[in-house]
Structure 1
């Protein structure tokens, strides 16, 4: 459990932020200068609040009213920056074990071998940072933070300096450590696709204040035109794998509101077996929870019925009144308009309640809404082009030609 309620004044910036979050990934999301990294620095103890209280895992890290401000080395916080910040003169093994020296031996609960296996860095242990790729360096940095047995892991835009290929390499590892070690993560990013994929809870910051906070499916799908840029509005849908069609190289997903067509085939990341001696009930697996091994380069087919989490940008949704026909778009989800937000500008933001309970937002023009006579209560079909979905951000999705 994380509780944060702090104020900090600078000559050109004021922070007044309060939020709480539980297990899993909590994303701090918002534009540059909104205060995301300042919150991270306050939690880590790199800055001191003018007034406030910070609690992590029932430990009071700061309480200005009570005169409590723990120094960084006593907070047991793991911190991962944009730059891996590894020691260039040390091997990967020495970099990994460096953080353990600041953790009392009795509190070193995260086993070295487990971290190495989960992050897939066992073959890198004797190498120096200069010989690693950017993705490998970030995995080592994450491992170093985990091996300090933190009560909380802070990740300050850890993928910002990486290219798209390296981001796709790192994201599955972050997902796996989230599920395997069950350490709460506060994840800072301004990339909506990363947040949609990783986070269960989102805190949207604007100008040093909380603009909105709640489940990712609600915060990333705003109902107001003024809440966020239209290019940041994302809906999160859950569907199940129906089948892969090899004739057309597409995956067909089943959703209560209709079929969803994705390019490529879904393959869950194959897992190497848990090392001998780390069976159920052992100290390692009781700490790591559901850990089953490390991701590999092999692809294992996702069976029919496997759940898939999709993020769909509101700008990629077209609305049709009446059953559409003779279109190249194959995905048409049935739902009911429950809200339409407009202002004096060119856009309207429609919220659609899909069959099955998911909600989908769609940006359209006010002109289109007027000419369609669109109103709350209308049944519509939400059309989504397969090519508009970023298959790289769907866990396990593979494009055959890649």
Structure 2
């Protein structure tokens, strides 16, 4: 059934929010569209749905052309076989949960539509609540009704527009888990629009970073977090520890870099020239913190001397900032487990060492 369910699009727009986006999504694949407010996420989603028409290019679902500006093809939203879950769910308040889910099944007999809707309500754990109206349901239950309605007609594409933003955090985590389990039953590709990095990392096969209407990078969650393609992408992901350095020596598979007078070794297969300025990042996995009087196994690898400037407890984790002695204007910021802070008796003002693991440091090409 997955044959012909891939999605291809290449869209451009010069409106209030410019758009230049090209992507291929496989059947069953969930791609998260990630970006800040105003990045063009909703514009792209509405363009795919046929709700925003001020675009050029093409959209193709399998062998079916939904839109082609050159050929004057423009299928209406109802002709595109879409499933959409909006932020506010867009349920009809005068209809029951069952009636809302039955709406896309108008081509079936009432009996078949009723049974199929009941089956999908059961899949989203709403059995027994079929006759309740939206105002009689919790936010999480309304979201499940909207999801069942989007999937009941077996769409060629599922669009999720920040579907968990209207519920509390506990419900949000529960719904994410349920979607992660349910998505294996979904044949069509799914595009999840979100500004929540955690949500994208938990649910997506690939993450598409959008900024000012342009796709900056498309990668798996692991690849994106360890190898962002540019400092702009890294900053959009909320990453810290972005610096510049000058190449001092090249000896494959590593280079030696001068970072404000401090020599670092960075593993890389890319060819660089001596004297070249590079931009690099200390990823979260590259940092090892230890007290000078309690050395650890990683203390000999790119050791950076400094002092703890900030310790902020955030639940089970602690946000820490270390000012390097050689470059106090360039603090290293990262998170460590709270139990490590307590066990090591770390305090503000304490002298500290941070080792930078050379095979975990990232150079922006």
Short-chain TM bin = 0.5 to 0.7
* 1:13 pairs with one of 17, 23, 29: 17
1:149 Cα deviation from its structure 2 partner: 1.8
Change in Cα spacing, 1:315 to 1:57, as seen in structure 2 (3 Å) is: same
Bigger CA drift: 176-185 or 117-126?
176-185
Q: 1:78 aligns to what SS in structure 2? A: strand
Matches of 1:104 and 1:38 in 2, distance apart?
36
Contact 2:101 2:145 (C-alpha < 8 Å) held by counterparts:
yes
Name the CA distance, whole Å, in 1 between partners of 2:33 and 2:107: 27
CA contact (8 A) 2:288 2:355 kept: no
Using the TM superposition, give the Cα deviation of residue 117 of structure 1 relative to its aligned residue in structure 2, in angstroms: 2.1
Select which of 180, 193, 197 maps to 1:188. 193
2:53 to 37, 45, 48: 48
1:156 is displaced (CA, Å) by: 0.5
TM-superposition CA deviations, 1:76-104 (whole Å, max 9, x none): 00010110111111111100101222689
The answer to whether the Cα contact below 8 Å between 1:225 and 1:348 also exists between their aligned partners in 2 is: no
Q: Quick check: 1:121 aligned with 2:126?
A: yes
Q: Name 2:42's counterpart in structure 1.
A: 37
* 1:333/1:124 CA distance change after superposition, 3 Å: farther
Q: Does 1:95 align with 2:96?
A: no
Cα offset for 1:349? 9.3
Number of corresponding residues: 267
Structure with greater Cα Rg: 2
Instruction: Show the counterpart of 1:61.
Output: 66
Deviation at 1:374, TM superposition (A): 4.3
- 1:204–1:219 Cα contact (<8 Å) kept: no
Shift of 1:323: 12
Question: Contact 1:119–1:143 at 8 Å: present in 2 too?
Answer: yes
1:229 and 2:261 aligned: no
TM-score (norm 1): 0.58
Contact 2:286 2:360 in 1 (8 A): no
Unaligned runs of 5+ in 1: 235-313, 338-342, 351-369, 380-402
Q: Deviations over 1:176-233 (max 9, x none)?
A: 2211223211000010111011000111000010111122221233444432337634
Alpha carbons 2:98, 2:118 under 8 Å: kept: no
* 1:25 paired residue number: 30
Contact 2:286 2:357 in 1 (8 A): no
The answer to whether 1:140 aligns with 2:109 is: no
Once the two structures are superposed, the pairs formed by residues 1-400 of structure 1 within 5 Å of their partners are 1-10=6-15, 12-22=16-26, 23-101=28-106, 111-223=116-228, 224-229=230-235, 232-233=238-239, 318-320=287-289, 346=330, 374=356, 376=358
Match of 1:98, SS?
Answer: helix
Over residues 125-171 of structure 1, what are the superposed CA-to-partner deviations in whole Å (9 max), with x where a residue is unaligned?
Answer: 01111010000000000001111221110000001111102202211
TM-aligned CA deviation for residue 49 of structure 1: 4.2
Could you say if the C-alpha distance between residues 374 and 54 of structure 1 is closer, same or farther in structure 2, counting changes exceeding 3 Å? same
Once the 2 structures are TM-superposed, how far is the Cα of residue 345 of structure 1 from its aligned partner? 7.1
In 2 relative to 1, CA 104–222 (structure 1 residues): closer, same or farther, beyond 3 Å?
A: farther
Query: Paired residue for 1:263?
Result: none
Kept in 2: contact 1:28–1:186 (CA 8 A): yes
CA contact (8 A) 2:287 2:354 kept: no
Q: 1:103·1:149 contact (CA, 8 Å) conserved in 2?
A: no
Q: Which residue of 1 aligns with 2:319?
A: none
CA distance in 1, matches of 2:222, 2:71: 37
What's the TM-score, normalizing by structure 2?
Answer: 0.64
State the match for 2:245 in structure 1. Answer: none
Structure 1 residue 24 displacement after superposition: 2.0
Two-structure CA RMSD over aligned residues (Å): 3.7
Provide Cα deviations, 1:27-76, integer angstroms capped at 9, x if missing partner: 10011111111111011110114310011233211011111110011000
Mapped partners of 2:65, 2:233: distance in 1: 33
Q: Contact between 2:36 and 2:236, CA under 8 Å: does it hold in 1?
A: no
Which segments of 5 or more consecutive residues in structure 2 lack a partner in the other structure? 1-5, 241-282, 303-326, 335-351
After superposition, the Cα gap between the structure-2 partners of 1:321 and 1:78, relative to the gap in structure 1 and judged at 3 Å, is same
